[in-house]
Amino acid sequence: MYSVPSVTWQQLPCEQPASCMSGCRTANNDNCVCQQMREALDRYAGLFAKLLTPQVSLWGMRWGEPYHVDFVTRSRTASYFTLLPISNRLISGTAVVPNYETCTLEPTYNTLTFRDLDLDIWAQSFMSAFDDFLALMTNGAPTSFDDTVYQRLVTLKETLAKVLATGVAPVFAMQSDGDLSAARDQFEQHVQTSFSNAYLHASIVQIPAAVSTPVPLRAESSVPRFIGTLMEFGYTHSHGNRCVLGHQAGPQFTTMSMLEVPMPRREFPHQPSLLSQRAKLSHEARVQASACTALQWSYEAQVELPAHGAQDQLWVRLAYNKPIDEPLQDCDSTDIGDHQEMFAALASFNVAWPVLWPQMQALQQEASERHADGPAKQRVTTALLNQFEHVIQAWANWRWPTCATVPRASTAPPPADQASALYVLDFACASNGRKTLRLFAQSSQVEAGCGLSKMGWPTINGQHPCGVAFAGEVAALNNDSCWYVAQYDDQALSTMDEPTFKFVWANIDIGTYQSACSTWWIVRNANLEGSAGARTNSALVYQSPASAFSAPVVPNIILPSRQFACDGNLFTAIELALTPFANASRARPRECCLSIAMGLRSQITAPSAAALDAWCEVPILLVDNVSIANGDSETIADNAHSFATLVEQLADGFMQWFNHTTPSSQSAMLKLDVTLYFNLNEVWLPIASAPELLISIPADGTLSRRGAGSYA
């Protein structure tokens, strides 16, 4: 957090407001007042002051009446400003860079290619180098340079400060309060003391406060104000301004209050590390005697997160029915866009700096020449100034024409097909002591509203969701209005530097989804104010490169053996056994097909001396590559049959064989070996099989078709 409000009292000229203090009636009234205030400082609980200039009052506050100052703030009224990054996307491109000859500093030029670069990292190196050069030229540089060098340096310093100040913007996109011009002016003054420090850390917080005193003021006296400094960076939500009297460090330094400030982290998050993914049978899936039973499976993915903070969110897009060789969607855009000039200038500087740095250090020598074969100081200074000027000019050309607009960054990847689901795991609540995770899930838009019934909530590290609620349009996510949110407990999260998360989506209908693959990435700073808060300025929202599994996984479900009673009605028994597979094939008849092998299993009675009986299996028929029609003419495959027709053909085929061979029906069973295949990019893969679906044959061998007519 930023602790605001450390105030230091200074012994500067001051004047006495009317009736401010009594008991000192000397000719030098101002000195009398200042002396009394200094003597009373150790009785003060705090101190408010204004930057003192001649004829400006110095105000103090102490316990007791009537000498006090009332300082009042209202909840949720602070305005937050910070320097926007150059880009919140990693950049790739080519640039022409110099290659300096060590002795003469004569450059030659080459073209280099750079990939996935954070321009702000380059900019930070530039700021540090510029600070070092300023310190050298103003403190320890030789005096042999003409005035044009110093004038050029002063111009560059002022220009860079103004260019950077132009990039100061509100942290929250819809922030209407606050004085942006004052924030930029304050940043411009601050950045000139240390460009590198201000570029990394400086932010401005404006707090509307009502400051009053019961002591009468002279007409020319100013309203009392307070001054302070920003310290101790961190993160928390801003749900109000908490003012707490701090520990008094001494009579001339008093902490007035503590303010929790939601400031963004201006750095790219790391990619999630993918550990494993697999498809398996859901624990709840069983072949039951029910026409509503569907084959179900689970998709499991395990990822490891690098160091992350409360500003981060883990995004995952779960895609179903994805062809194996389909190119993976890249969630990260590396288009250089309007950053070409900035990119080229910073690339040139960062390549040149390792050569120019030792030359700059040598400028501290007092001699006008370093050595006989070395470049002159003027030549070194000119090369450095040319590099600094190149970057600052490119920065000005990029920032000033577009200073009124804020680039829009999307926190979501390009739209995927309909067979996908989007989830966002938010860490804000896990980092504030509550030890809970919030998972947002985007549901489908239907005519009556949002389709909650079609959403699948995963378990996370074995924890099931609780408190599922409609979230509507979440400012921190995207403009879609169909978001739901659920809570997860995770007591171990706070103790893990790189926690591992295992997501399991269970009870996936194999007739609807036959493969799954997931893509993962981290979004930073999108949720500074929580799900009900303001939207973060999109230029401050960072997104890591996406991590995606190389290929989808398909289930390979092997169902346990199950026995069905026949009661003489063969059609009903076969229909009951095949219903789950028929439902799966019917959903996607062009991509799914069935292979059904039918046989007769009968028991051979062993001799009395044998301990076990033997079983005999006789193959009867094979139905291969058959699909179940669903009534949609556009999806009917060439090999499609209605389910009733298929069952009738199986029953008729078995009865013809049974009547012709008249096998023993004692302890006999009809055996079905069923396999469901799915076509993934012209590759037929088995995704579910039941090698042993058994239908008992009545001992008397009497079988009926649909309960009417006898095959005995």
pLDDT averaged per 10 residues in sequence order, the chain, 712 residues: 32 33 37 43 36 40 50 70 88 90 84 90 92 80 68 90 91 79 89 87 77 59 50 40 40 49 81 91 54 72 84 89 56 62 92 87 58 62 90 88 39 46 82 72 63 75 84 64 80 60 89 88 82 75 89 86 81 88 81 89 65 75 84 60 88 85 75 88 85 83 54 35
Residue 439 lies in a domain: no
Q: Are residues 689 and 567 in the same domain?
A: yes
Question: How confident is the model at residue 586, as a pLDDT?
Answer: 80
Question: How confident is the model at residue 591, as a pLDDT?
Answer: 81
Element (H, E) at 392: helix 377-399
Q: Are residues 25 and 153 in the same domain?
A: no
Residue 246 CA to chain centroid, in angstroms? 36
Q: Quick one: tokens of 306?
A: 């690098």
Q: Are residues 562 and 654 in the same domain?
A: yes
Residue 300 lies in a domain: no
Contact 543, 333 (CB under 8 A): no
Q: Are residues 590 and 691 in the same domain?
A: yes
Question: How confident is the model at residue 219, as a pLDDT?
Answer: 57
Question: How confident is the model at residue 514, as a pLDDT?
Answer: 85
**Which residues, other chains included, contact 127 with Cβ-Cβ below 8 Å and sequence gap of 6+?**
195, 196, 199
Helix/strand/coil for 206: strand
Backbone conformation region of residue 27, classed left if phi is above 0, alpha if psi is from -120 to 50, else beta: alpha
Q: Measured between alpha carbons, how far is 337 from 185 in angstroms, rounded to an integer?
A: 29
Question: How confident is the model at residue 75, as a pLDDT?
Answer: 62
- Provide the number of structural domains found in the chain: 3
Residue 327 lies in a domain: no
For the entire predicted model, the pTM comes to 0.72
Pick the closest to residue 426 from 408, 439, 441, 413 (CA basis): 439
Q: Quick one: tokens of 322?
A: 């994805």
Q: Quick one: tokens of 698?
A: 């009545």
Pick the closest to residue 50 from 88, 15, 84, 102 (CA basis): 15
Q: Are residues 57 and 121 in the same domain?
A: no
Q: Are residues 689 and 564 in the same domain?
A: yes
Q: Quick one: tokens of 370?
A: 């370093």
The DSSP bridge partners found for residue 469 are 485
Q: Are residues 562 and 691 in the same domain?
A: yes
Q: Are residues 185 and 223 in the same domain?
A: no
Q: Are residues 226 and 176 in the same domain?
A: no
Q: Quick one: tokens of 241?
A: 């301004």
Q: Are residues 41 and 130 in the same domain?
A: no
Q: Measured between alpha carbons, how far is 103 from 348 in angstroms, rounded to an integer?
A: 19
Residue 319 lies in a domain: no
**Which residues, other chains included, contact 641 with Cβ-Cβ below 8 Å and sequence gap of 6+?**
626, 627, 628, 629, 649
- Mark which of 359, 384, 402 sits at the end of a domain: 402
Residue 620 lies in a domain: yes
Tokens 């996908």 appear where? 420
DSSP, res 463:
B
Q: Are residues 103 and 172 in the same domain?
A: yes
Residue 532 lies in a domain: no
The pLDDT tens digits of the residues spanning 218-261 come to 555 555 555 444 444 344 444 333 333 334 444 434 445 556 66
Residue 446 lies in a domain: no
Backbone conformation region of residue 168, classed left if phi is above 0, alpha if psi is from -120 to 50, else beta: beta
Helix/strand/coil for 623: strand
Question: How confident is the model at residue 507, as a pLDDT?
Answer: 86
The pLDDT tens digits of the residues spanning 495-521 come to 455 688 999 998 888 878 888 999 999
Q: Measured between alpha carbons, how far is 638 from 630 in angstroms, rounded to an integer?
A: 13
* Cβ neighbours of 92 (radius 10 Å): 15
Pick the closest to residue 157 from 402, 385, 398 (CA basis): 385
Contact 49, 225 (CB under 8 A): yes
Domain containing 55: what range? 1-68+208-258
Question: How confident is the model at residue 254, as a pLDDT?
Answer: 43
Q: Are residues 611 and 653 in the same domain?
A: yes
Whole-number CA gyration radius for the chain: 38
Q: Measured between alpha carbons, how far is 407 from 424 in angstroms, rounded to an integer?
A: 23
- Mark which of 379, 402, 425 sits at the end of a domain: 402
